[in-house]
A and B are shown apart, each in its own frame.
Chain A
């Protein structure tokens, strides 16, 4: 299962939208509830699910799903 699919299931839980599907280009303008607070919650939930922490620099550069994927892929092999 790809990182994209795993992110989809996290987004589904956070927004409680069972049919939501995210793509790398999905960004806050595509999801009504994706505001700055939801952004923090997504970061924390994704960190927990992938067993990792984003750096300060990464956190400020996460603007779309693709940014999350890139940050997670850069850890591949080290992620539990």
Chain B
């Protein structure tokens, strides 16, 4: 006969890192042997984390969620970290008490902690009930097409979208009809008008035998590219597809990768070819890479034979996270700035106490090597366009010394666009960083090993994502990899120079504060503007700006790559980009103007500028350019709308400033081109270059 002490010893006391699994096993054993009440009595006097957790779980199993709620509360507050399991139980209790918003906030936190698949199963119905409280900013239309059942994937994606404030509308093609749906003009898919198509195929669709004949790979590739073409022709959607994984079983074992005709090798060739020929409307995600960072088998043969689910249910959260991160990236919702704590996050130890020589960073210390690897990873994020900042409780000089003088520090002071090492609380510092850089808190990720700091930031600034980390540097990397907060599906040259541009922005704040007059300030910047028509080489960056610019944006109209391309080649549109350089930095392509034109009248559809060049007078130049072009084409009137949003009150008076007059229709303004005054742009000192249209040559 098993005793309560044995239940505890067998599970909670000897639990490894998988505390949740241990607790679950303990609950199962206690219930199976009818020991639940005895175990609960023993647990009353036990203060450790595992015991508290087991007590909450067992109370819930025996007495229900209401009785267990205070125990779950204690698990979370005493351990200081956010455990999806506990949050789920608290959310259930909140909803029963009628507090839908509290429930949604708890569920969002749980979903940010990248829970395992079981969590999605158990929370789905609850989350649906709280849907309206998730505060979605935008709807998104997603079609799931594939050769397998996509319903489980759909559920996981739905919850992740809600977490990210996207309200998804899904379309699933009837099983096995994807090619038909793509080709038929009037199919349900085409009528649905998806913004995204998630295209899920697997190795069975390739028709590969143990040894593949010549030509089989090429035939498989052309079947896939035909499907892409049909989707590109029939919809305006961005297509997101997982690459093929070879079947897990192969009688040729190692030979399958070695022999030219081997199935593993052939699958790789097919993937490589697909990567090479994918058009910009197709985003391929490397399935084998996801598999290497996911625990457990990639496929589930039982689930496949019974309900045709691919890949295995346990890997769906990770796969869905990749899909949703690409959707966020395409919509301009990827996070932009990573704020880092220093002591025990970027190096081991406390620099203010241990001194420059005492902290662990770099060899020979094993921990030091891991911290150095972490810095290398952060450095690479910075180099590809993620902005980096520091918020640390430290003496500023102690902290800066490490980046200036420590041999093993990969990161240098100039890698950070903002450096806050002081004794203010972290939420205050983070707010300060947001206002300095003119970035929204909803584009921030904050990494800190200290649970108290994490919870303070979560509490005060819920828009900031705060991943759970322990301070073990490899775990910090893993947290950033799992969350995919900084996903990008295209790399533009602006991404590579963004850090320099923002640092320059901070220096200008200083210049401005020194009190020089505005005109003098602008002249001192030695600005140079380049501008031209939107064409193939600029359209990707233009789409990126259209979809992520919030503040200096007159209409906040969002366009897909497809919609941008159509306007770019249509004679009915005047579509221009503006690039800015100054003595501090090349800011890259920072402005877009788009107007629809008829013979007599132009209507402004989009007028936007990147927030990092606000206050430079560039809008005056853009206006001047538009007026001159419109006059040349014979138009006599400009029309424009100001569409207010929560973030664009900066441009509230933009139109009146340049002489537009309200027409009386809601938000509409007009300008008589004959009488319009051109603003003074002498601060540019004539440093303007116009790039001619190249289309004829292309």
Chain A interface residues (CB < 8 Å from chain B)? 1, 5-6, 9, 13-16, 18, 33, 36-37, 40-41, 44-45, 48-51, 53-56, 59-60, 79-80
Contact = CB atoms under 8 A, between A and B. Distances in A.
B117 interface: yes
B5 interface: no
A80 B29 contact: yes
A59 B306 contact: yes
Contacts of B129: 16
Contacts of B539: none
Q: Chain A at the B interface: mostly helix, strand, loop or mixed?
A: helix
Given A6-B31, A44-B313, A60 B306 contact: yes
A18 B65 contact: yes
B122 interface: yes
Which residue among B32, B60, B118 has the maximum number of chain A CB atoms within 10 Å of its CB?
B32
Interface size class of B (residues with CB under 8 A): 20 to 34
B28 A53 contact: no
A14 B125 contact: yes
B309 interface: yes
B34 interface: yes
Contact of A48 (B61, B118, B303): B118
A31 B28 CA distance: 26
Contacts of B28: 6, 49-51, 79-80
Given A18-B96, A56-B305, A79-B32, A41 B121 contact: yes
Nearest to B123: A13
Contact of A56 (B31, B124, B306): B306
Contacts of B36: 1
15 contacts: A1-B31, A1-B36, A6-B28, A6-B31, A14-B122, A16-B126, A41-B152, A44-B117, A44-B118, A45-B118, A49-B28, A54-B302, A56-B305, A60-B306, A79-B28
Contacts of A80: 25, 28-29
B697 interface: no
Contacts of A60: 306
Report the 9 A-B pairs with minimum CB-CB distance, sorted nearest first: A1-B31, A16-B125, A48-B118, A13-B122, A45-B121, A59-B306, A16-B126, A80-B25, A56-B302
Interface in B280-312: 302-303, 305-307, 309
B307 A40 contact: yes
Given A14-B121, A16-B125, A51 B302 contact: no
B152 A40 contact: yes
A60 B306 CA distance: 7
Contacts of B518: none
Given A6-B28, A13-B122, A44-B118, 7 more contacts: A1-B62, A16-B126, A37-B151, A40-B309, A41-B121, A51-B28, A80-B29
Nearest to B154: A37
A54 B307 CA distance: 14
B32 to A, nearest CB: 7
B64 interface: yes
Given A41-B121, A45-B118, A9 B306 contact: no
Contacts of A41: 121, 124, 152
A45 B122 contact: yes
Contacts of B34: 1
Contacts of B60: 9
A54 B303 CA distance: 10
Interface string B23-37: 011001101101010
B61 A18 contact: no
Nearest to A19: B64
A35 B64 CA distance: 26
B681 to A, nearest CB: 62
A15 B125 contact: yes
Contacts of A44: 117-118, 121, 313
A59 B300 CA distance: 13
Contacts of A18: 64-65, 96
A5 B32 CA distance: 11
A22 B208 CA distance: 46
A50 to B, nearest CB: 7
Nearest to B302: A56
Nearest to B301: A56
B295 to A, nearest CB: 14
A67 B16 CA distance: 34
Given A6-B61, A18-B96, A53 B121 contact: no
Contacts of A45: 118, 121-122
Nearest to A45: B121
A5 B122 CA distance: 17
A9 B302 contact: no
A59 B32 CA distance: 23
Nearest to B152: A40
B126 A51 contact: no
Most chain-B CB neighbours within 10 Å: which of A45, A49, A79, A80? A80
Given A15-B125, A18-B64, A59 B302 contact: yes
Contact of A9 (B61, B117, B307): B61
Interface in B650-697: none
A78 B122 CA distance: 25
Nearest to A38: B125
A25 B368 CA distance: 61
A16 B124 CA distance: 9
A60 B302 CA distance: 10
A80 B31 CA distance: 11
Nearest to B32: A79
Interface string B48-62: 000000000000111
Interface in B111-166: 117-118, 121-122, 124-126, 129, 151-152
A80 to B, nearest CB: 5
Contacts of A14: 121-122, 124-125
Nearest to A13: B122
Contacts of B121: 14, 41, 44-45, 48
A28 to B, nearest CB: 15
B603 to A, nearest CB: 47
Contacts of A79: 28, 32
Nearest to B35: A1
Contacts of A36: 307
Nearest to B117: A44
Contacts of A48: 118, 121
Contacts of A37: 151-152
Nearest to B26: A80
A26 B154 CA distance: 28
Nearest to A80: B25
A41 B156 CA distance: 12
A37 B302 CA distance: 16
Contacts of B96: 18
A1 B65 CA distance: 16
Contacts of A53: 302
A55 to B, nearest CB: 7
A79 to B, nearest CB: 7
A51 B62 CA distance: 19
